[in-house]
Structure 1
Amino acid sequence: MTPPTRPDIIQWIKRAWASLTTATILGGFKKARILEAGQAEHELSHSEPDWKALICLLQQGNVPVQTIDSSKDIKQDDAVEEDDEVVNGVFD
């Protein structure tokens, strides 16, 4: 089995976020206490999410922001193939 590429994963995440309404996102942020109930809300453009505002909200909520280290990616050669046999819990 081949793992998904980073660009594929990013597209999945962007599509998932784009499918949510502003009210849903703000409601989730309020419930998670990332956004205070009385904090001013602003309307986002329907064409592209306001990524800077999202990053700002996440940073205010003390959510760690990490840089992706591509050296830690799973390499194609490291992945276990579907037809590999497992004998006594050891891959042969």
Structure 2
Amino acid sequence: MYVLSGEVTLYVGEENYLMRAGMCAGFRANGTPHHLKNNSTDDATIIEVGTRVSCDAVSYATDDLVAVMGLNGQWVFEHKNGEPY
């Protein structure tokens, strides 16, 4: 993840970091859950590059949300108990 302009807060587990233009961060597969949030009133632009090769499910740590790769190759969103979203 690379911040092109503005500033965002990067949340990694229980920690958070203010990220400004020119700063970057990387995340290893199956690592600590993370997300970004723009807490300012100004726009921010980021580039995020990655791959989900051989990934068939993603669980969102702070939300009741799981993304599961369907048989048709498209993501299906479910609650953590398996009920459709």
> Given the two structures, how large is their TM-score scaled by the length of structure 1?
0.22
**Structure richer in helix, relative to its length:** 1
Q: Determine which structure has the larger strand proportion and give its number.
A: 2
Bigger CA radius of gyration? 1
Query: Which structure carries more relative contact order (alpha carbon 8 Å, separation 6+)?
Result: 1
Q: TM-score, normalised by structure 2?
A: 0.23
